[in-house]
A and B are shown apart, each in its own frame.
Chain A
Amino acid sequence: MAHALKEVFYEKPKQALGAHPEDARVSLSYLSIAFIALFIGGVLGLLQGLERAGLMQLPPWLNYYQVLTAHGILLVIVFTTTFTIGYQFANLSHSLGGLLPKVRKLAWTGLVLMVIGVALVTTTIVMGDASVLYTFYPPLAASPFFYIGLVFLVLGIWACCFGVFINYRHWRKNHPGEPAPLLAFFAMGVFTLWFFASLGVTVEVLTLIPWTLGWKETVNVLVARTLFWSFGHTLVNIWYLVATSAWYAIVPKIIGGKHFNEKLIRLVVILLVVLNIPGGFHHQIIDPGISLSIKFLHVFMSLSIAVPSLMTAFAMFHVFERTGRQKGGRGLLGWLKKLPWGDVRFLAPMIAMISFIPGGAGGIINGSNQLNQVIHNTMWVVGHFHITVGVSVVLTFFGICYWLVPYLSKRTLTKKMNKVGVIQTIIWTVGMAIMAGSMHIAGLLGDPRRTSYTTYKDHPDALSWIPYEYIFAAGATLLLVGVIIQVYAVFHMMFLSPKGVTEFPAAEPVADAAPAPLWTERWGLWVVLLLMVVAMAYVVPIVDMIVHAPPGSPPIRTW
C-alpha cells in the first residue's frame, strides 16, 4: 500500500492528479478563443454559401468580400492557431510534467498579443478597410492597422514558440541521455516549423506597413506573393503535423493498442519540418516572372511531402490492423469491425485520415505544373482545402476535444456527449462531402473561386455552374449545424459536464520496442537542413525577382 501510494505521488503524479490547474487554464483559454472564432467564422461561411448561389442578398453594409476575408482569417488563422496552441501546450504540460512558470507567462503574453492582433484585424475588416482576403496580395492595400494587427498575431505565435523551445530544452537538460517524450517531440516540430514559416510573411508585412502609410512609394508585387506563400502553404502543413500528432500518439491508445515504431514516427516529423517551407511555390505555378525550371524544381519540392504522408498512411493502418487482430478480428478485413466506431474520439480522427486520401490526391494535382493550370483559382481549390483542412485537420481537432476538454476541465465525457459527438461527426462528414464534392466538379467546369454571385451577363457556361452552387449552399447549411453542435459540446464539456477524472490518452510503445534513437533529438541539425532546403528553393528566384524587378506598384484600393 505504502509502495503503491509512493508510486502514485512521486512517479505518476500526472496520472493521479490530472492536468496542472494553471496549465489547464492556459489551454482552456486558447481553446475558448478557438471555438468562438469557429462559431463566427462558420456563420460567415454560411452567409457566403447562400450569397454565392444567389439565394440571399447581403445587406448593403456588408459586402461578400468582407465576409470572405473575415471567414478566411477567423478560421484559417485564428481558429487553427489558437486550437493548436491550446492542444500542444496541454501535450507539453502532460508529457514534460508541467509547464515552467516562465513558459506559462510566455503563453499568456502570446494570448494577449494575439487578442490585440485579432481585434485590430477584425475591426479593419468590419469597417470595410481591409477587404483584401486572407492572402492580402499587394497592390491591394488595406488600412495600415490591418497589417499591424497581423504583426501582433505573429508576435503572439513567436511568444508561444519560444515557450516551447525553453521548456523542451529545460527537460532535455534535466534528463541527459533520454529522448524527449513523443508528444513533446511533435510539439517541437510544430513550433519550429511555425517560427521559420512566419519569417517570410513577417518580412512581407513589415514592407507593406510603410507602403500603406505612404512612407514608401511602391512595392515589389512578386516578391510579396512569394514571401506570403512561403508562409501560406507551410501553415497548411503545420496543421497537418498537429493532426498527425494525434493520429500517431493518441488514437492508438483510444483503440486500445500501442503506437507505431517511434523511430519512424520521429523520422516523419523531421521530414515534414525539413521539407515543408518550399511547398508554397506551387501557388504561383501560373505566375509570370518565374522561370519554368524554377517551377519544375518546386513541383518536386511540393510533392516530396507525399513521401512522409504515405509513410503515415502505412503506419496508421498497421496500428489499426494489429490492434483489431489482437481483439480477435479475423480474415482479410475482419479487424476493421473490431475498431471502436461508436467512440467519437476514434471516429472523428479516422474519417479525417480517410479523407486525406482524396485530399492528398487532389493536392498532387494542384502541385503539378500542367494540371494546376486547369484548376488554378477555380472552385476546385476551395473544394480541395475544405476536404484537407476542413476534414483531415478540423475533424481531428474536433475528435481531440472529446478527451482534451474534459481532461483539462476535470470533468468526464458522458455517453450522451459521445453520441452528440458521433452525430456531429456524421453531419460534418456529409456536409463536407456534398459541399467539397460539388466544388471540385464546378471547378473542373471552370467556376472561379473568390467571386460573389454572378452569371457573367447570363453566359451559358456560367449559368451551368449555378446548380452546383446550390449544392455548396446546402452543404454549408449542414456545416453550420455541425459548427453549432461542436461549439455547444466544447463549452458543455468545459463548464457543465459531470465532474470527474478523464485520462490523458497518450499511446505507449509495444512491449519489446527499442527506445527512440537519440540522434533524432539533434534539432540544431534539423534547423540547418531546413534552412538549406529553404535556401535551395528561394535564393535563386527571389534574387532574380529583385534584380530583374519591374518598377513597383503604388497602393491601390478597389473596393
Chain B
Amino acid sequence: MHRLEETWLTVSAGILIIFMFIVGYQTFAMGMGPPSNKETIDPQKVEETAPFDHPGVFKVGENKYEVVMTMEAFSFNPDDITVPKGAEVEFVLTTKDVVHGFQVAGTNINAMVTPGHIQRISQTFDEPGEYLILCNEYCGVAHQLMSTTITVN
C-alpha cells in the first residue's frame, strides 16, 4: 500500500474513533442519550394500568411537571395542555393501539411510542408559546390529523 493510502485510512479510522468518544461522552456523561426507557405495560389494558388510568398534567416539584399521556389513532390524551414558563416537563407516554411517534416541533422532543412499552422524555420549556405536538409515525388513515398543543405561558 502507498504511503498516501495508509495516511488516508488512518485519518478515516481516527475520525471515527474521535467521533465515538464525543457521542459516548454526550450520551453517558452529559445524559444526552436518546429516549430509551425500558418499562413495559400490557398494550390491551392501558386504561386499567397506573399511571395511565389517570392521564393528565401533574405537578411533581418546584416548576416540575409530569405529563402522563396515552396515544391512540388519532388522538392524544390529555390534549391541549398548559405548563408555566421555565417548567421542566417529563412526558410519560404509551400507546393503546399501533406505533406512534411523539414530536414537539421546535424542540428536540422526538420519541417512538411502541405498544407494550412506556416511553419517557424530558424538556425544559424556557420560551413561551404554543408548541405543536404531532404524531410522526404513520398510524392510519387520519395520521395527518393527529396533533395537539402544549402552551407555555
Residues of A near any B CB (own CB < 8 A): 63-65, 68, 131, 133, 137, 139-140, 220-222, 225, 261, 264, 284-292, 295-296, 299-300, 303-304, 306-307, 310-311, 314, 364, 368-370, 372-374, 376-378, 445-446, 448-454, 456-457, 459, 461-462, 548-554, 556, 558-559
Contact = CB atoms under 8 A, between A and B. Distances in A.
A558 B13 contact: no
Contact of A221 (B13, B26, B115, B141): B115
A286 B34 CA distance: 6
Contacts of A370: 23, 26-27, 32-34
B43 A449 contact: no
Interface stretch (B51-59, B60-68, B103-111): B103-111
Q: Of residues B33, B42, B115, which shows the largest number of chain A Cβ atoms within 10 Å of its Cβ?
A: B115
A288 B111 contact: yes
Contacts of A457: 147
A290 B116 contact: no
A348 B130 CA distance: 47
Interface of B: 1, 5, 8-9, 12-13, 16, 19-20, 23-24, 26-28, 32-38, 40-45, 73-74, 97-99, 101, 103, 105-106, 108, 110-119, 130, 132, 134-141, 143-145, 147, 149
Contact of A289 (B26, B40, B103): B40
Contacts of A550: 40-43, 115-117
A376 B102 CA distance: 10
Q: Of residues B13, B139, B144, which shows the largest number of chain A Cβ atoms within 10 Å of its Cβ?
A: B144
A377 B98 contact: no
Given A296-B24, A446-B105, A456-B134, A65 B117 contact: no
Nearest to B7: A314
21 contacts: A131-B141, A220-B116, A221-B99, A264-B1, A286-B35, A286-B112, A288-B111, A288-B112, A288-B114, A290-B36, A292-B28, A292-B36, A307-B9, A369-B26, A373-B34, A373-B110, A377-B137, A446-B103, A448-B134, A454-B145, A462-B132
B23 A306 contact: no
A461 B26 contact: no
A551 B116 contact: yes
Contacts of A63: 141
Nearest to A225: B114
A450 B132 contact: no
Nearest to A372: B34
Contacts of A556: 97-98
A490 B45 CA distance: 56
A68 B112 CA distance: 21
Contacts of B37: 288-289
Nearest to A66: B141
Contacts of B108: 373-374
A286 B111 contact: yes
Contacts of B143: 65, 450-452
Contacts of B137: 137, 377, 450
Contacts of A139: 97-99, 115
A372 B108 CA distance: 10
Nearest to A551: B42
Contacts of B117: 222, 288-289, 550
A275 to B, nearest CB: 12
B8 to A, nearest CB: 5
Nearest to A457: B147
Given A307-B12, A456-B134, A222 B33 contact: no
A286 B141 contact: no
A537 to B, nearest CB: 16
A360 to B, nearest CB: 11
Nearest to A222: B114
Contacts of A295: 33-34, 36
A551 B84 CA distance: 37
B103 A377 contact: yes
Contacts of B139: 140, 558
Contacts of A285: 34
B36 A377 contact: no
B42 A291 contact: no
A471 B44 CA distance: 42
B27 A292 contact: yes
A296 B12 CA distance: 19
B141 to A, nearest CB: 4
B141 A292 contact: no
A453 B105 contact: no
Contacts of B119: 288
A369 B33 contact: yes
A448 B134 CA distance: 8
A264 B74 CA distance: 53
A222 B116 contact: yes
Contacts of A310: 8-9, 12
A287 B40 contact: no
A376 B110 contact: yes
B136 to A, nearest CB: 4
Contacts of B149: 459
B129 to A, nearest CB: 9
Nearest to B94: A288
A286 B91 CA distance: 14
Contacts of A372: 34
A327 B15 CA distance: 35
B98 A303 contact: no
B12 A288 contact: no
Given A461-B132, A549-B116, A558 B97 contact: yes
A225 B117 CA distance: 13
